[in-house]
């Protein structure tokens, strides 16, 4: 009997075993309070040494455990979702290359070697976004890679500034960066903002939904977009008390509010989930800007579980309803896809912070700590509004797609009989239910006291309940009464278009930058720089080396001429 094993099954088994090993290592590292560091010196330049370093502490191992776990589920899921694709193996290789780049970025505490993984993430994500090779994918891929290149340049400039410290190991030097290193901190915050799609770089994340749904589940929910958050967690000692920290707080709170508001006016299923990811990234960076990097890491891990599950459920639904992504073309799916809808409801409730699901433990703790911190009224208001908007767009999504009447106009077999896709969601479904409690016991074994007033303690519950009521009932009234959005058309367009950021990023902003870059290349790189730089220096050196070569040839004529000239010069000097 011959066993036929496909590539996605082999990859799933390998990544699952890797996830178990990394999880065990993270538990041992946290229990013992130690970290293993592997360092390989490549070259030494005076007092600066370029070294390739790997750090194996509980933070990097725990993050890798979740990356491998989600990657294994997504690859197994892709075996069914991408079944008819002729280039399935190329897709698998790209996903594995992405996992390799992510591993290099997570394990490296060196700013030079972290650039390999950082740049690899941007390159592979571009290849995955343009996978379908149509005009929409090409535009989304170009917006993605150009936005990420800004962060790559910021990392390169940071490497140049950090060279004066004598090394690039930010595990060591981040504790000694005072306010005189504000430029370096701003560049690192800028790099994190581009990868995590904060304002004004938010346009690329919803545009990247042109990629296949398994790519969205892996890349745009739990790994690529959290790379910026992870970098800030590693650099958190340098940010404490700096001006870059306060700027990051305002930007992340605005991103959180903007994404939540935009999701309430969006009708594309994948873009709604992408905007919810953007909102949660704002939550992570805002609490990190307040100085609680462990809470940001806690929410990063718990969010990865239920958001990847939510994207996978969206993929099953899109597959079943004839590749429609408009939620108005769905409805009543609970009657046809009970298993997938159950997983999606669990993921949605975890996103809202429903008690005792994965999102509750991290999100509720983040809100309580933020409310106890000395934040200004604007940041506090944005936190409260974003919390209510999260529940509002979640209930709106449930109303349009899962409940109500069946609205699909085309003939399609709507069911969840595909066992591979359903089974691949099981592990993440369990994680969305129990993952928050396990992580809470793992990261915060000692109890912490939270001292708040009764009103502040119940404020989150009041706002969430109000958001759920408005999100469900208001959209139910929209289907019965006349549309109220027409009377406030300008506001709806502004809120639904992410405050015109896609327009500014894809048209005017990129046009100005590309034209100026082309002019600089023509005048500089192909003009004066070449004349006085590469070609000019080559000409001078070649002439100089020609003279030296002539003077060193073993020619008798040259020696005799030099001897005669030297005798004449000596005679003239003495006479």
In this predicted model, what pLDDT tens digit does every residue of 293-324 receive, in sequence order? 888 899 898 888 888 888 888 888 888 887 78
Q: How far apart are CA 33 and CA 396, in angstroms?
A: 45
pLDDT at 486: 67
- Residue of higher predicted confidence among 525 and 390: 390
Read off φ and ψ for residue 132, nearest 5 degrees: -80, -10
Q: How far apart are CA 539 and CA 531, in angstroms?
A: 10
Q: How far apart are CA 353 and CA 357, in angstroms?
A: 7
- The CA-atom distances, in angstroms, between 362 and each of 164, 290, 306, 353, 412 are 39, 15, 12, 8, 39
User: Which pTM was predicted?
Assistant: 0.84
At 575, is the pLDDT very low, low, confident or very high (cuts 50, 70, 90)? Answer: low
Q: Look at the alpha carbons of 463, 465, 466, 471 in this order and tell me if their dihedral is positive or negative.
A: positive
Spans of all domains in the chain: 7-499, 529-574
In this predicted model, what pLDDT tens digit does every residue of 235-284 receive, in sequence order? 888 887 777 778 888 888 889 988 888 888 888 888 888 888 899 999 89
How confident is the model over 207-231, as a mean pLDDT? 84
Closest CA to 96 of 74, 116, 77, 118: 74
What is the C-alpha R_g of the chain? 28
pLDDT at 1: 43
- The CA-atom distances, in angstroms, between 37 and each of 25, 27, 149, 182 are 14, 17, 30, 28
How confident is the model over 64-82, as a mean pLDDT? 85
Give the number of residues written for the chain.
575
Q: How far apart are CA 240 and CA 229, in angstroms?
A: 15
Cβ neighbourhood burial of 185 (10 Å; 0-12, 13-18, 19+) = buried
Read off φ and ψ for residue 142, nearest 5 degrees: -65, -40
pLDDT at 290: 87
Q: How far apart are CA 29 and CA 286, in angstroms?
A: 28
Cβ neighbourhood burial of 164 (10 Å; 0-12, 13-18, 19+) = exposed
Share of the chain above pLDDT 90, in %: 0
3-state helix vs strand vs coil in the chain, percent to 5: 75, 5, 20
Q: Omega before 200 cis (within 30°)?
A: yes
Measure CA 275 to chain center: 13
How confident is the model over 109-131, as a mean pLDDT? 86
């Amino acid at each position: 009997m011959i066993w036929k094993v496909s590539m996605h099954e082999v990859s799933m088994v390998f990544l699952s075993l890797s996830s178990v090993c990394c999880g065990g290592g993270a538990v041992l590292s946290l229990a013992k309070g130690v970290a293993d560091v592997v360092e390989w010196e490549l070259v030494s330049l005076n007092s600066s040494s370029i070294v390739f370093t790997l750090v194996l502490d509980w933070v990097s191992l725990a993050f890798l455990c979740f990356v491998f776990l989600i990657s294994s589920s997504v690859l197994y899921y892709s075996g069914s979702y991408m079944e008819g694709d002729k280039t399935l193996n190329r897709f698998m290789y790209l996903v594995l290359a992405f996992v390799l780049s992510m591993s290099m970025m997570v394990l490296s505490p060196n700013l030079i070697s972290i650039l390999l993984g950082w740049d690899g993430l941007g390159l592979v994500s571009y290849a995955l976004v343009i996978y379908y090779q149509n005009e929409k994918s090409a535009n989304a891929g170009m917006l993605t890679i150009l936005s990420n290149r800004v962060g790559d340049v910021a990392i390169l400039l940071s490497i140049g500034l950090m060279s004066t410290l004598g090394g690039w190991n930010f595990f060591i030097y981040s504790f000694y960066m005072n306010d005189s290193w504000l430029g370096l901190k701003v560049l690192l915050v800028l790099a994190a903002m581009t990868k995590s799609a904060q304002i004004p770089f938010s346009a690329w994340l919803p545009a990247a939904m042109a990629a296949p749904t398994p790519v969205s589940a892996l890349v745009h929910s739990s790994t690529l977009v959290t790379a910026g958050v992870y970098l800030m967690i590693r650099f958190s000692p340098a940010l404490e008390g700096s001006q870059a920290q306060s700027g990051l707080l305002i930007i992340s709170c605005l991103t959180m509010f903007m994404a939540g508001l935009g999701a309430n006016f969006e009708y594309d299923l994948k873009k709604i989930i992408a905007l919810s990811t953007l909102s949660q990234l704002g939550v992570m960076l805002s609490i990190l800007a307040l100085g609680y990097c462990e809470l940001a890491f806690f929410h990063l891990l718990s969010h990865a579980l239920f958001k990847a599950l939510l994207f996978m459920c969206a993929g099953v639904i899109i597959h079943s309803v004839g590749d429609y992504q408009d939620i108005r073309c769905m409805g009543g799916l609970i009657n046809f896809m009970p298993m997938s809808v159950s997983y999606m409801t669990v993921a949605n409730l975890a996103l809202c912070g429903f008690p005792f699901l994965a999102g509750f433990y991290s999100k509720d703790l983040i809100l309580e700590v933020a409310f106890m911190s000395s934040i200004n009224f604007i940041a506090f208001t944005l936190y409260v509004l974003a919390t209510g908007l999260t529940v509002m767009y979640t209930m709106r999504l449930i109303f349009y797609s899962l409940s109500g009447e069946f609205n699909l106009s085309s003939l399609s077999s709507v069911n969840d009989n595909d066992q591979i896709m359903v089974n691949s969601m099981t592990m993440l479904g369990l994680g969305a239910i129990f993952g928050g409690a396990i992580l809470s016991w793992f990261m915060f074994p000692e109890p912490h006291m939270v001292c708040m007033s009764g009103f502040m303690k119940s404020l989150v519950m009041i706002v969430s309940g109000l958001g759920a009521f408005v999100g469900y009932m208001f959209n139910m009234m929209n289907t019965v009464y006349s549309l109220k959005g027409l009377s406030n058309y300008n506001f709806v367009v502004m809120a639904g278009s992410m405050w015109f950021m896609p327009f500014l990023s894809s048209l005017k902003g990129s046009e100005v930058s590309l034209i100026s870059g082309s002019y600089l290349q023509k005048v500089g790189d192909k003009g004066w720089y070449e004349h006085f730089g590469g070609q000019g220096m080559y000409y001078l050196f070649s002439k100089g080396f020609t003279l030296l070569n002539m003077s060193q040839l073993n020619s008798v004529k040259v020696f005799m001429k030099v001897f005669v000239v030297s005798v004449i010069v000596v005679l003239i000097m003495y006479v």
